[in-house]
Structure 1
Amino acid sequence: MNDKTTPPSNPAETVASAAAGLTRRRLVRAGLTAAPVMAALQSNTVLAGGSKGFGHGCIRPSTFSSLKAANWTISQGRDIKGNFVCRPYSHWKNNFPHKFKNVYFLSEVTKCNRDPRPYDNRKTYKKLKMRDVFELRDDDTDARLARYVLAAFLSADAAGAGSDNVWLTKRQCHEIWNGRGNWKPFAGATWDLNQTMNYFEVIFARG
């Protein structure tokens, strides 16, 4: 966005509107404050403006990390890529790809193999097909992480192999799941579960 108008006196309300669902609770979870995010939103298409018309932007982990470290200020002339295929799990739940209809979440297709509940026959993930993940009624960390990872996986698949519009690769998706949020998003960085969930909370704010 290139909105140069003077921001209203209630930045939190403006952020919620501009980010189309980036609520105060989610901002707090991600360790963000209203003012710097407001500045970022006004300066460029970061976390807002839409990706493929889905009403919210998307940035790669390296960009997310550098912007957060810079208190969400964007250097003059810097171009922030925001045209990734980035669709939340609410989209995939209603537009699930037919080719994955009978594929299990823990499978060679996704390369996800970690079962959070291997000894609970009622809750084991081994019985979940990919589509079932979006129907999970649980709201624990693993259920939320599964929804985020699968939405990212399907977005990567929709973008196509080798596409520059992939914000997380399929390989990164199964690394995140198998490591329960502990992974290396880019060279020289290691994220733990909390950092990973914060990232997904912001990217999939409307999901």
Structure 2
Amino acid sequence: MIDSSTPSQQPASGVSRRRLVRAGLSAAPVMAALKSNSVLAGDHTCIRPSSFSSLAAAHMKVSQGRAIKTDYECKSHGYWKNSEAGLATKFKETKFISTTTGFTRDPGNAYGKLTIQEVLDQGGNRNNAALARHVAAAFLTATAFNNDSTRVLLTKSQCRAIWNGQGVWSPFAGTTWTLSQTMAYFDMIYGPAFL
């Protein structure tokens, strides 16, 4: 037990969740001590990976007095299956693995001949199909909104890093996500991709 009268053993006030997550500390006991009063609600909350990490550590609660920007553009794979809003004519006919997209990984040789539309239309998760659908959606959103990092959830270069790393990537400095973490993020933002 920590003696509360010993200043050198007390945590510094104002320790941010981001610092706790980056340090890899078990945040649950510390998070319980931080004030959290409002929970993100809604079916479709578009938050950046850095905010997601902080919120995941805090059981999706926002600290009192803190505002999280949630109005990024993040259209799901379901949206893009049937929309071409903001895209060049027939853009979804672009090959998924191409110089236009910058996607190079081809697990199981399953994507070399597929268009972006065909990736959006596939079901299941063979050869990381769920990841492909999420990445295709994020890439199309970035394309439709001119890759404006102040408006889109993920930029084209982040989409490339995610796909080419097969879900292993660095969403922000000092952190590397696994495929499981990346899919948890996408599933929280877009909903499950196994439809």
| TM bucket normalised to smaller | 0.7 to 0.9
Structure 1: distance between partners of 2:95 and 2:185: 26
Checking the alignment, whether the CA contact within 8 Å between 1:47 and 1:58 is kept in structure 2 is no
Are 2:133 and 1:147 equivalent residues in the alignment?
Answer: yes
Specify every segment of 5 or more residues in structure 1 that has no aligned partner in the other structure, as ranges. 1-39, 49-54, 119-123
- The structure 2 residue matched to 1:86, chosen from 47, 70, 74, is 74
Q: How many equivalent residue pairs?
A: 156
Q: Kindly provide the CA deviation profile for residues 9-36 of structure 1, in whole angstroms up to 9, marking residues without a partner as x.
A: xxxxxxxxxxxxxxxxxxxxxxxxxxxx
Letter in 2 for 1:127: K
Are 2:121 and 1:135 equivalent residues in the alignment?
Answer: yes
Q: Kindly provide the CA deviation profile for residues 148-191 of structure 1, in whole angstroms up to 9, marking residues without a partner as x.
A: 00001111122223341111111010111110110000011000
SS in structure 1 of the partner of residue 137 of structure 2 = helix
Percent identical residues? 47
Structure 1: distance between partners of 2:61 and 2:117: 39
Checking the alignment, whether the CA contact within 8 Å between 1:43 and 1:74 is kept in structure 2 is yes
| Mapping 1:3-152, distance limit 5 Å | 43=38, 46=40, 48=42, 56-96=44-84, 97=87, 98-118=89-109, 124-140=110-126, 142-152=128-138
Letter in 1 for 2:100: V
Structure 1: distance between partners of 2:45 and 2:192: 11
Residue in 2 aligned with 1:198?
184
Q: Kindly provide the CA deviation profile for residues 36-89 of structure 1, in whole angstroms up to 9, marking residues without a partner as x.
A: xxxx8x826x352xxxxxx61110000000111123231111111011111111
Q: 1:47 to 1:206 in 2, by over 3 A?
A: farther
Q: 1:179 to 1:47 in 2, by over 3 A?
A: farther
Checking the alignment, whether the CA contact within 8 Å between 1:47 and 1:203 is kept in structure 2 is no
Specify every segment of 5 or more residues in structure 2 that has no aligned partner in the other structure, as ranges. 1-35
SS in structure 1 of the partner of residue 125 of structure 2 = coil
Structure 1: distance between partners of 2:181 and 2:107: 19
SS in structure 1 of the partner of residue 93 of structure 2 = coil
Checking the alignment, whether the CA contact within 8 Å between 2:102 and 2:160 is kept in structure 1 is yes
Two-structure CA RMSD over aligned residues (Å): 2.2
Residue 112 of structure 1: how far off its partner (Å): 0.4
Larger radius of gyration: 2
Residue in 1 aligned with 2:7?
none
Residue 117 of structure 1: how far off its partner (Å): 1.4
Checking the alignment, whether the CA contact within 8 Å between 2:77 and 2:120 is kept in structure 1 is yes
Checking the alignment, whether the CA contact within 8 Å between 1:103 and 1:130 is kept in structure 2 is yes
Residue in 2 aligned with 1:13?
none
